[in-house]
Amino acid sequence: MSALAPDLYYTHVTAIDAGELADRSIGHLLLDLDNTLLPRDSSEIAPPVREWLSGLAEHDITACLVSNNWHAHVHDVAADLGLPIVAKALKPFPAAFRRGLKVLGARAEATAVVGDQVFTDVLGGNLLGMTSILVAPLSASDLPHTLLLRRLERVVLAGRTPLA
């Protein structure tokens, strides 16, 4: 089960303290998009999320979006945020995470994966030795297969509560 256990768990991406990440020698983030930075089926990044993303630079933290989504809107969101993207990632398979690391010029041990799913984001990050950060999903709406996996996530996360 340890491959499925997140290193850190938060209620929302904005609860992640960039200064604490820097203190942990994390200089790079691979960020999920849907239900992590924006609600599923939306292209609107909330102002607090934009502020949080902007604040990463103050701690010399770079970021790349890594998304299983392949629709045009994910590229539009990435361009709007000024972030590189690895789309159609097929998480949790390592190839997309490795592409994200390459884009950032990062090493796995100095990188954290941030996402809302245990079986894609957390597992993928843990397989490559990155810090895994789970956030609660922004929306209860999800694809049917993801809703099924959410039931399994509840078993994996039993007894754990978000830090903030």
Cα–Cα distance between 91 and 19 in angstroms, integer?
27
CB neighbourhood size of 107 (10 A): 12
Q: How many CA atoms lie within 13 A of 61 on its CB side?
A: 28
pLDDT at 70: 82
Q: What's the whole-model pTM score?
A: 0.89
Could you read off the pLDDT of 152-163 as tens digits, one per residue?
A: 677 676 777 777
Q: May I ask the CATH class of domain 2-156?
A: alpha beta
Answer whether 28's CB lies under 8 Å from 104's CB: yes
> DSSP letters along 62-118, please?
EEEEE-S--SHHHHHHHHHHT--EE-S--TTSHHHHHHHHHHHT--GGGEEEEES-I
- Is the peptide bond prior to 92 cis by the omega test (within 30 degrees of 0)? yes
pLDDT at 147: 64
What pLDDT was estimated at residue 142?
A: 61
**Which one, of 9, 121, 112, 113, lies nearest residue 68 by Cα?**
121
Neighbours of 158 (CB within 10 A): 7
Using 50 as the pLDDT threshold, list the residues of the chain that sit under it.
none
Domain layout of the chain by residue ranges: 2-156
Give the pLDDT score at 141. 62
Nearest to 49 by CA among 114, 4, 108: 114
**Residue 148's pLDDT is what?**
60
